Amino acid sequence: MVKICCIGAGYVGGPTMAVIALKCPSIQVVVVDISVSRITAWNSEQLPIYEPGLEDIVKQCRGKNLFFSPDVEKNVAEADIIFVSVNTPTKTQGLGAGRAADLTYWESAARMIADVSTSNKIVVEKSTVPVKTAEAIEKILSFNSKGINYQILSNPEFLAEGTAIQDLFNPDRVLIGGRETPDGQKAIQTLKDVYAHWVPEDRIITTNLWSAELSKLAANAFLAQRISSVNAMSALCEATGADVSQVSHAVGKDTRIGSKFLNASVGFGGSCFQKDILNLVYICECNGLPEVANYWKQVIKVNDYQKKRFVNRVVSSMFNTVSGKKIAILGFAFKKDTGDTRETPAIDVCKELLRDRARLSIYDPQVTVDQIQRDLSMDKFDWDHPVHLQPMSPSTVKKVSIVWDAYEAARDAHAICILTEWDEFKTLDYQRIFDNMQKPAFVFDGRNMVNVKKLREIGFIVYSIGKPLDPWIKDMPAVA
């Protein structure tokens, strides 16, 4: 029986390994983590992450060929294939701080593999890493090899949170990079055989190591760039009377462009887009390519601009002050169908509103009170935004209440900000909400999900990103 061990039981390691276990009953899969509490949660009724469809798969396979264990070393020693799916955040200190990927976790995993291994291993980079990381890992392993043969493969993950299971079941492609030596090709084939249990062969792409590593960064940069492109257009739409949804639709109909990922928003969030683009920028700079670095940097700058622009619309529309006013925040996760708040635009929007001394009442169906409090009081690292480096004071956090119902959040509020596109926000009883709000009552839709016409008929003053402006708002321009 082939034995797989995955180091890192997070948003990638957990779902990916659960699907491998489901699709490959003949393979034993063990997921390990240094976080004992995370492993305990994977073994409990309450999984550590919310992902539609995941719980069913885990329940089906757990204890059969899928195991979650805190015993990292034993399971690594016994495995034939080791996936490394640890976090690779942006460095916050030292050389490359604010841009380079922090490979501390990766390196310690590699050193541990070298320490405990007694048989040949295929080591698979699942984490997103800077191009050429495989070379560094090879060096660490080969300098400590004790005669063991290690083959390093790059097998980046393309799943998106909220749709992880369907993405894993039916991937656009699986990418495997390896050395162009006979041993390297053999290792590629071994991993290919795992995916071939359910992925059609023509969707399994093999490349050299560096192409695979760079393709992951490139894919995320291209995706984020589309969002910044449409968000930049949304500002121009507001200035000209064009409607960004109509523009996206017309542009996306061109099959060379395509219709996906053209939804204007308050800005993209998530743990990877910003981190991976910053990493790409750093790699470009290290390779003496400042023009290329600046090109990609602009994707992040437009994203920051979009969040700032949204807050400015809120404040300027409400007579240039939100001090003491209650603002309902609907949605805090970085997208729907996840409880993940990493780099969610809601953090930046809420912090800016709190700086303007608003009182916030936040509702999100999946994010816990503790998580929101932590996010709003945490020192957030952000390049070009020194203001974000200032920690929130405990008194600011007191201006936040977290409730478990959208109606409760909006009660007596002056305004509602929709920051995550949860489906339930489409079907709220907006008349009931309006009746219980202060007047004039504002809706600032950061996800273009409300029926603007209907809400205006009820009496709301509505701002929807990139849509023709409400006459009220038109007269109160937001200078970002």
Ligand X SMILES: NC(=O)C1=CN([C@@H]2O[C@H](COP(=O)(O)OP(=O)(O)OC[C@H]3O[C@@H](n4cnc5c(N)ncnc54)[C@H](O)[C@@H]3O)[C@@H](O)[C@H]2O)C=CC1
Ligand Y SMILES: O=C(O)[C@H]1O[C@H](OP(=O)(O)OP(=O)(O)OC[C@H]2O[C@@H](n3ccc(=O)[nH]c3=O)[C@H](O)[C@@H]2O)[C@H](O)[C@@H](O)[C@@H]1O
Confirm or reject binding of residue 159 to ligand Y (CB under 6 A). yes
| Antiparallel, parallel or unpaired: β 359-363 and 400-402 | parallel
Is position 69 an interface residue for ligand X (rule: CB under 6 A)? Answer: no
Q: Is 258 annotated as a binding residue?
A: no
306 touching ligand X, by CB under 6 A: no
Question: Which one among 65, 75, 90, 128 touches ligand X, defined by CB under 6 A?
Answer: 128
412 Cα distance to chain centroid = 33
Number of residues that bind ligand Y (CB under 6 A): 20
Is 13 annotated to bind a ligand? Reply is yes
Question: Does residue number 158 form part of the binding site for ligand Y (CB under 6 A)?
Answer: yes
| Catalytic-labelled residue, pool 6, 24, 61, 272 | 272
Tell me the sheet residues that pair with 84: 7, 125
Position among 4, 5, 6, 13 found at the interface with ligand X (CB under 6 A): 13
Nearest CB to ligand X, comparing residues 383 and 472: 383
Whether the Cβ atoms of residue 29 and residue 104 lie closer than 8 Å to each other: no
220 contact choice in ligand Y, ligand X, none (CB below 5 to 8 Å, kind-dependent): ligand Y
How far apart, in whole angstroms, are the C-alpha atoms of residue 363 and residue 369? Answer: 9
Q: Is 61 a catalytic residue?
A: no
Single out the segment in contact with ligand X by CB under 6 A; choices: 29-37, 140-148, 169-177, 310-318.
29-37
Q: Which 3 state secondary structure label does DSSP give 42?
A: helix
Q: Is 269 in the site for ligand Y (CB under 6 A)?
A: yes
Work out which of 4, 5, 6, 11 binds ligand X, going by CB under 6 A. 11
Question: By CB under 6 A, is residue 332 in contact with ligand Y?
Answer: no
DSSP for 11-26, please give it.
TTHHHHHHHHHHH-TT
Alpha carbons 102 and 385: distance in angstroms, whole number: 20
- Given the rule CB under 6 A, which of 89-97, 133-141, 265-273, 428-436 is the region that contacts ligand Y? 265-273
Q: Which two tokens stand for residue 349?
A: 């929007």
8 Å CB contact between 441 and 412 = no
Of 51 and 445, the one with the shorter C-beta distance to ligand X is 51
The torsion angles phi and psi of 107, rounded to 5 degrees, stand at -65, -40
CB of 343 to ligand Y, least distance (A): 8
Burial (CB count <10 Å: 0-12, 13-18, 19+), residue 459: middle
What stretch of H or E contains 207?
strand 204-208
Confirm whether residue 87 is marked as ligand binding.
Answer: yes
261 lies in the site for ligand Y, by CB under 6 A: yes
Beta bridge partners of residue 124, listed in sequence order: 83, 153
The SS3 of residue 307 is helix
| Window of 80-88, 131-139, 183-191, 197-205 that interacts with ligand X by CB under 6 A | 80-88
Q: Which amino acid is at 281?
A: V
Q: From ligand X, ligand Y, none, which one binds at residue 38 (CB under 5 to 8 Å depending on kind)?
A: ligand X
Examine residue 418 and tell whether it contacts ligand Y (CB under 6 A): no
Cα–chain center distance at 154 = 20
**For residue 25, cis peptide bond before it (omega within 30 degrees of 0):** no
Residue span 221-260 as binding mask against ligand Y, x where in contact by CB under 6 A, dash where not: --x---x---------------------------------
Q: What are the residues binding ligand X (CB under 6 A)?
A: 7-13, 32-35, 38, 72, 85-88, 105, 108-109, 127-128, 157, 159, 161, 271-272
State the catalytic residues: 272
